[in-house]
Structure 1
Amino acid sequence: METTTMNGSGGYVHGYSGREARRLGDQADALAALLHDGTAYPPGSRVLEAGCGVGAQTVHLVSRSPGVRLTAVDLSQASLDQARAGLAAAVPAARVLWRRADLRDLPFPDAAFDHVFVCFVLEHLRDPCAALAGLRRVLRPGGTLTAIEGDHGSAFFHPDSAHARAAIAHQVVLQAAAGGDAHLGRRLGPLLAEAGYARVGVEPRTVYADGTRPALARAFTRDTFTAMVESVRDEAVAAGLATPADFDRGVADLRRTAEPGGTFHYTFFKATAVNPP
């Protein structure tokens, strides 16, 4: 759900503020067990993280697969610098090759990697299928790709609120205007098949937070999802999608779902696929 600097043909609707970088780190930490469960690579494997952004997911990749030869790429040198510093603080012994690169024109030979990991990137690209095909080129035959995306259509909550649902819809519209698709999770499997991958499998990874899980309600419902929606307030108002009062009401109602008596549900989709011989 929006973690990376975009690599061509798309835009990152949430911006690149320090606040957004912190949100991305909080999100990755809150969802690490849910999203990274089942992802571990053998020591010595050549792994590419495509679109690493500020390194929010990189920390968890190297923690779960400490012996891999990880290359992390992003279009933004500033994001790469931040990712490098963050990883050095979190996992001092980790060794990562950081490369500034565009996903549309990766500077690696064919079959350079055994595994590719791409998380919350495809939803921001105008042509995610082309990006997946480009990743296939640098993935060896028989190598695996893991992709994770969210789907804002899976968000539902209590107490229900028309203002909250409208605020989410405004974020979806703005992301589409920037060239992305906040509903991409539901079509992740077909995209991988269209890009030529084989043995495609997709699993829903559902977040549900209520009063019995106050830490998750705070970390995900309030500090991740609601903060993400709130980050597009000025753009939504400027575009005439909402009045300031209506958007603020929507954000307040979303925050209410993280409080006692509230509930919040969201589904991520995690896909794995193989590059056929």
Structure 2
Amino acid sequence: MTTRIDSDNDSDGMYVHGYSAQETRRLGDQADTLAALLHSGTAYPADSRVLEVGCGVGAQTAHLVTASPAAHFTAVDVSATSLARARARVTAQFPEAHVSWQRANLFELPFPDASFDHVFVCFVLEHLSAPRQALTALRRVLRPGGTLTVIEGDHGSAFFHPDSAYARAAIDCQVRLQSAAGGNALIGRELHPLLTAAGYEDVVVRPRTVYADRSRPALVGGFTRNTFIAMIEAVREDALATGLMTAADWDHGIDDLHRTATGDGTFHYTFFKALAVNPLPGR
């Protein structure tokens, strides 16, 4: 649900959600609301070298630093705009943090082999046309025996009450537009085979489920409204311009999505978190 890394290192890339201030806020809401869910179990030893690929506006970086204040982070992104926002965000919150910033293409990382003990990738693969190749490329800069953590969503896991064909159609517009841009909004379910095909060992993938109803108002506001529905609403112009839905049907679908965040509405979504190891030589 965040930054795309493109093959063109001279542009900000074709991030399907855009680079607006509103999107920056959405990413912050998402990271803060889901921090306990997504970052649980992720902490790095003091002085370990950690690469965050596709750091975007630094929303996840802040939580990585919180969990591992003595680790040394290198955060990279293809977007100069996002990288500047990330640096400002994290420096303001954690002036003593050990974070260096680098504009770089995932497929052409400017680091020597085995530079890092750990690599962290969150909401990046979904925007790539070649996710397996990207995972393979990361093995070069990850030391043998080092770990890779990957977190991705899967829009096919979204279900809600009251159910609505219009709401599901609006979500499908986002899925189709992301596919047309070369990404895959359903990639969460593919993490295990992708990592295995890329040559990693000891691959473990586990679901991280979000469920929101009126008894959990923080999730209703932070995730259902401000993260998921806001993400779908942002593609309205493209969905209508490409003829995926009519304006009336789109508005009906968005209204129905908001209905899931009120009264007796409920919303469910599943993220997938993977941990894998870069094999030792000879294995």
Give yes or no for TM over 0.5: yes
Mapping of 1:105-254 within 5 angstroms? 105-254=108-257
Moved beyond 3 Å, runs of 4+? none
Q: Which position in structure 1 is the counterpart of 2:58?
A: 55
TM-score normalised to the size of structure 2?
0.96
- Contact 1:152-1:172 within 8 A present in 2 as well: yes
Report SS of the residue matched to 1:27: helix
In 2, Cα distance between the equivalents of 1:14 and 1:223?
14
In 2, Cα distance between the equivalents of 1:56 and 1:5?
14
Report SS of the residue matched to 1:172: helix
Q: Which position in structure 2 is the counterpart of 1:3?
A: 2
> Which letter maps to 1:163?
Y
Report SS of the residue matched to 2:66: helix
Shift of residue 6 of structure 1? 2.5
Between 152-161 and 251-260, report the one with greater CA deviation: 251-260
Structure 2 portions without partners, runs of 5+: none
In 2, Cα distance between the equivalents of 1:210 and 1:89?
34
In 2, Cα distance between the equivalents of 1:243 and 1:109?
51
Q: Which position in structure 1 is the counterpart of 2:76?
A: 73
Choose the corresponding residue for 1:83, options 78, 86, 89.
Answer: 86
Between 195-204 and 10-19, report the one with greater CA deviation: 10-19
Shift of residue 12 of structure 1? 1.6
1:87-131: per-residue Cα shift (whole Å, max 9, x none)? 122222212110010001100111000000000000000000111
In 1, Cα distance between the equivalents of 2:91 and 2:143?
29
Between 241-250 and 87-96, report the one with greater CA deviation: 87-96
Shift of residue 5 of structure 1? 4.0
How many positions carry a matched residue from both structures? 276
In 1, Cα distance between the equivalents of 2:263 and 2:187?
31
TM-score normalised to the size of structure 1?
0.98
> Which letter maps to 2:42?
T
Report SS of the residue matched to 1:57: helix
Shift of residue 4 of structure 1? 1.5
Report SS of the residue matched to 1:116: strand
1:219-272: per-residue Cα shift (whole Å, max 9, x none)? 100110000000000000000001112111111111110112000000000000
Identity of aligned residues (%): 68
Does structure 1 residue 28 correspond to structure 2 residue 27?
Answer: no
In 2, Cα distance between the equivalents of 1:88 and 1:99?
15
